[in-house]
Structure 1
Amino acid sequence: MDQQQILDLYEWEPGVCFRHPGDGEVPTTHVETIRPAAGGIQDVRACRDCVLAMEATRATAAQREGLTYAPGELRRRT
């Protein structure tokens, strides 16, 4: 699967990437919802570059552990 096919597995909308907040609004996808100790709910969003990096990390971990890698599953089910 090429990079664009992986990116196409996600829904994209303008947002701020958790790793690159200085870039301002860019196309992002929701990857997690956290509940900080101070209260409230915070959505964590990632840009295309970060999604590809996280997917590469997942693929490497799956290979190392002898598991089947399936892209498109970054978002935690909460």
Structure 2
Amino acid sequence: MNQQQILALYEWRTGICFRHPGLGEVPTAVVGVIHPPAEGEHEVRACQNCVVAIEDMRREEAARAGFEYVPGQLGNCPG
């Protein structure tokens, strides 16, 4: 699967990338959710370059662990 196909698996919205806040508002996708004490739920968003990089890390880890890699699952993991 190429980068554009992976990016197409996500819903994109203008936001701030957690790894590159200095870029300002850019297209981002949800890659996680945090639950700070007494602050409710906050989405962790990443830019396109970071989504591709995180997906690459997931693919490599799946290969090392002998698991099937399924792209497009960032932000859907419990906990």
Per-residue deviation, 1:38: 5.2
The unaligned stretches of length 5 or more in structure 1 are none
Q: Which deviations, in whole Å up to 9, do the C-alpha atoms of 1:28-60 show, x marking residues without a partner?
A: 001111111353322100000000000000000
Matches of 2:5 and 2:12 in 1, distance apart?
Answer: 13
Q: Which residue in the other structure is 1:28 paired with?
A: 28
Q: Which residue in the other structure is 1:16 paired with?
A: 16
Q: Which residue in the other structure is 1:55 paired with?
A: 55
Matches of 1:32 and 1:67 in 2, distance apart?
Answer: 21
Q: Size of the alignment, in residue pairs? A: 78
Q: Which residue in the other structure is 1:39 paired with?
A: 39
The unaligned stretches of length 5 or more in structure 2 are none
4+ runs deviating over 6 angstroms: none
- Taking structure 1 as the reference length, the TM-score comes to 0.91
User: Percent of aligned positions with the same letter in both sequences?
Assistant: 55
Matches of 1:20 and 1:56 in 2, distance apart?
Answer: 18
- Taking structure 2 as the reference length, the TM-score comes to 0.90
